Structure 1
């Protein structure tokens, strides 16, 4: 329940980002030249990274951007990519797992080998290699770069492409067991079609493992997105993103440790809350998997 409450708070902050930043009066890319001191290399004025009533979490060194606004909008980016890629990979994985487990034969062999291949790929390395290539081929704005929404779409697709096999393998194993059950035999005897058996008989009995898989995929995808942005193949600066914030903050850690500490701790709490929430969902939906 504590993880659920923390997760809901993060979701509300992301949804209310325009309202919260309007209350503070600072946008994610609105610099405050008065909050940084040019005589010290444009570092924040004051202690703890410039934290004050004007800037609740301080400002970025060098730019003067309000850190609270950038974290709030960066949270939206992380959650959008994490949830969208989890939804896409779950849908593809469920369809592939259903087809492989119920059909058997050569269909099962082909899809199972495809799952093995995808699970064998070093996911992060291939996403790092593919993302800039795809984005370079999709130059859409007047500056010869990639539109930000399209860039996020590429991130979502790349993450989902390498993540669907985990759900597919889980669903396939469940379907192999369920297809021999009496209710499936009864549906066949009553001349039910394959689509009816798959989506009206088998799928309703799979919602628990599918929901568990989805709940555990979201924090993993958020971490992947942050790692990609940290390595420079995610969101384009100055657009806010937690991974890029951590990347920039690592250069100023000795001079302004709060710049690294704040987004780092928030990312830790977000991923931890989502992981604990996924564990709670698993324990609630599968009591037989109780821990000693």
Structure 2
């Protein structure tokens, strides 16, 4: 049997014909190289940027936050404070309704004026956003910290500690939270937030609302962290840390906690819009921020008296609250999908 000769190149050496890889065959290698050397945070940011809805929600959220942070500057540019009435913009002959169309919208009042009082709607809106964001973000931070500590302790130590903490979590989750917050908030506000002059301090009042919302919001994070710790504490790297003599503090804060930042971040991102809606509901029902202090829920409550005659005043805070809560919820969902590589994406 004769051996077939191999093709030779011009130099006389034998060569083998190799098919060139197609574009489809090169694509996986290119994608692999593009993600090589990136941290998990960078990969998550890349996945988040591919989600158009999340990026739009991020832009809207940032704009609302900037408006709230810069509320004193924006208010001074317009020329009206949140509790500075413009009696010339309302007509006493028509029941103190705004003069002009669309709730008195003009170059002096960009979103009109409040019926009855003459307060500038734009100024009250941005100050109300600041109030809502301060309450929501601060309460989310406090509830997340409490939830992480309780979840770590329950999941790692187990036994009687886990049983006791798990029972407390079940009790907190079983409460009708909004109804209980509505019942408790006025009592705490009247008991602990009265200043020396017999009035109510805005700072103390906001602190009381933050404490109440955080008190009933930590159980969700604690339950999530506990479940993650129960699965992580049996991993090989935890056993290796124990064998090397690491104490429980090192294992909790150096080994377990760095592997929990993704679910913690997701829990925080989803808690903020819930807290915004809760704070607005409290003010709408009259047990939150006390008028004339600006607040979105308080503006909606005041607008219910005039919506048949001046729907603009109801639409402005209502649309703002809807957009900011929706944007933050979409952003939270996008963060969750970006941090979970196994999530299905189109």
- TM-score bin, normalised by smaller chain: over 0.9
CA contact (8 A) 1:138 1:146 kept: no
User: Could you tell me which residue of structure 2 aligns to residue 154 of structure 1?
Assistant: 208
CA contact (8 A) 2:303 2:313 kept: yes
Q: Secondary structure at the match of 2:115?
A: coil
Q: What is the rounded CA distance, in whole Å, between the counterparts of 1:87 and 1:126 in structure 2?
A: 21
Matched, 1:121 2:175: yes
2:304 pairs, out of 250, 255, 265, with 250
Q: Secondary structure at the match of 1:288?
A: coil
Residue 8 of structure 1, CA deviation: 0.4
Q: What is the rounded CA distance, in whole Å, between the counterparts of 2:316 and 2:138 in structure 1?
A: 25
- Give TM-score scaled by structure 1 length: 0.98
Q: Secondary structure at the match of 1:11?
A: helix
CA contact (8 A) 1:42 1:63 kept: yes
Number of positions where the alignment pairs a residue of Structure 1 with one of Structure 2? 292
Q: Secondary structure at the match of 1:102?
A: helix
Q: Secondary structure at the match of 1:50?
A: coil
Matched, 1:172 2:211: no
User: Could you tell me which residue of structure 2 aligns to residue 213 of structure 1?
Assistant: 267
Equivalent runs, 1:19-98 vs 2, <5 Å: 19-98=73-152
5+ long unaligned stretches in structure 1 = none
- Give TM-score scaled by structure 2 length: 0.83
Q: What is the rounded CA distance, in whole Å, between the counterparts of 2:199 and 2:344 in structure 1?
A: 51
Residue 207 of structure 1, CA deviation: 0.2
Q: What is the rounded CA distance, in whole Å, between the counterparts of 2:110 and 2:304 in structure 1?
A: 21
CA contact (8 A) 1:99 1:108 kept: yes
Q: Root-mean-square deviation (CA), in Å?
A: 0.9
CA contact (8 A) 2:193 2:205 kept: no
Residue 290 of structure 1, CA deviation: 2.5
CA contact (8 A) 1:28 1:66 kept: yes
* Larger Rg over CA atoms: 2
Q: What is the rounded CA distance, in whole Å, between the counterparts of 1:11 and 1:139 in structure 2?
A: 27
Q: What is the rounded CA distance, in whole Å, between the counterparts of 1:290 and 1:145 in structure 2?
A: 54
CA contact (8 A) 1:119 1:165 kept: yes
Matched, 1:192 2:246: yes
Structure number with higher helix proportion: 1
Q: What is the rounded CA distance, in whole Å, between the counterparts of 2:321 and 2:84 in structure 1?
A: 23
Q: What is the rounded CA distance, in whole Å, between the counterparts of 1:291 and 1:117 in structure 2?
A: 37
Q: What is the rounded CA distance, in whole Å, between the counterparts of 1:34 and 1:133 in structure 2?
A: 39
Residue 265 of structure 1, CA deviation: 0.4
Residue 146 of structure 1, CA deviation: 2.5
**For residues 31-79 of structure 1, what are the alpha-carbon distances to aligned partners after superposition, in whole Å with 9 as ceiling and x for unaligned?**
0011000000000000000001110000000000000000010000000
